[in-house]
Amino acid sequence: MNMSGTLPRRISRNVHDYGFLRTILKVILIAFAPIAVFRSYLFYMRKLKEPASDPRDSSFSFRWIEPGEASLIAQVEAMEEWLDGNLHERLLKNSACLVALDRETVAAFNLINFELMSVPVLKFTRKLPSRSAWSEQITVNKRFRNRGLGADLRYAVFRELAARGVDKLYGAAQRGNTSSIKLARKTGFTIFCRLYYLKIFSYQKWFYKRIRNGCDF
């Protein structure tokens, strides 16, 4: 992986998602990561039996990527550095990736896991309930943002998963990631849990807080 190209892209994405000040705070926390780490994530869920809206922008087409489609896989990996070089293997195992296409260009994607819910930065992994799926990553190409494409992609994923017999879709976002939380709420997800992760040297601890009304930020 080319870290010289990865770092600026990661910083740019964090500024977009969290704002400049939160990005600076994250950089400081990363610097102290060998000593202490504290993170907080919100977990959310949507029942797929509920009706999903139709896409508002018909200029995009939505479909699953096949493992042999190297060009589309390369475009998705270029949008998220942590996927670099491993999306093909994921598609061969327990994952699927729905893309929004502008002709041959990947405008957005949603990576889905059918076996595990996993948040690597929290060192958190759990087996999914039956007939459930986990949203590992949803990303909109910066050229296509501010057009409602994130919501349209979510609704397309809901319909496609329901057609596969999936009843519930789970996901998570860092508490400060307001764009992801707003998108989740907008598309009908209910926040049901906050997970805290604390690490001081070799000591690790996870704390859970159940959210009953879905209104906790």
With cut-offs at 50, 70 and 90, classify the pLDDT of residue 2: very low
Domain assignment present for 217: no
Amino acid 14: pLDDT? 66
List C-alpha distances in Å: 211 to 45, 55, 61, 187.
12, 30, 36, 18
With 0.85 as the threshold, say if the pTM is over it.
no
CA–CA separation, 173 and 205 (whole Å): 19
∠ CA 75-23-152, rounded to 5°: 45
Residues 18 and 65 in one domain: no
CA–CA separation, 204 and 190 (whole Å): 28
Residues 19 and 121 in one domain: no
Domain assignment present for 215: no
Residues 17 and 94 in one domain: no
Structural domain of residue 87, as residue ranges?
32-210
The answer to whether the CB of 206 falls within 8 A of the CB of 196 is: yes
Domain assignment present for 63: yes
Find tokens 């190297």 and name the residue. Answer: 70
Q: Helix, strand, or coil here: 42?
A: strand
Kindly tell me if the per-residue pLDDT of 152 is higher than 70.
yes
Residues 74 and 163 in one domain: yes
Amino acid 3: pLDDT? 43
- Closest listed residue to residue 208, CA positions, set 29, 4, 43, 30: 43
More confident residue, 108 or 38: 108
List pLDDT tens digits, range 112-142: 999 999 999 898 999 999 999 999 999 999 9
With cut-offs at 50, 70 and 90, classify the pLDDT of residue 216: very low
Proportion of the chain above pLDDT 70, given as a percent: 82
Amino acid 201: pLDDT? 83
Q: How high does pLDDT run on average in the chain?
A: 87
More confident residue, 57 or 210: 210
Q: Helix, strand, or coil here: 98?
A: strand
Instruction: Write the single-letter amino acid at 75.
Output: Q
Residues 18 and 112 in one domain: no
Q: Quote the number of domains for the chain.
A: 2
Residues 9 and 36 in one domain: no
With cut-offs at 50, 70 and 90, classify the pLDDT of residue 36: confident
Residues 103 and 166 in one domain: yes
- Overall average pLDDT of the 209-217 stretch: 67
Amino acid 76: pLDDT? 98
CATH number for position 146: 3.40.630.30
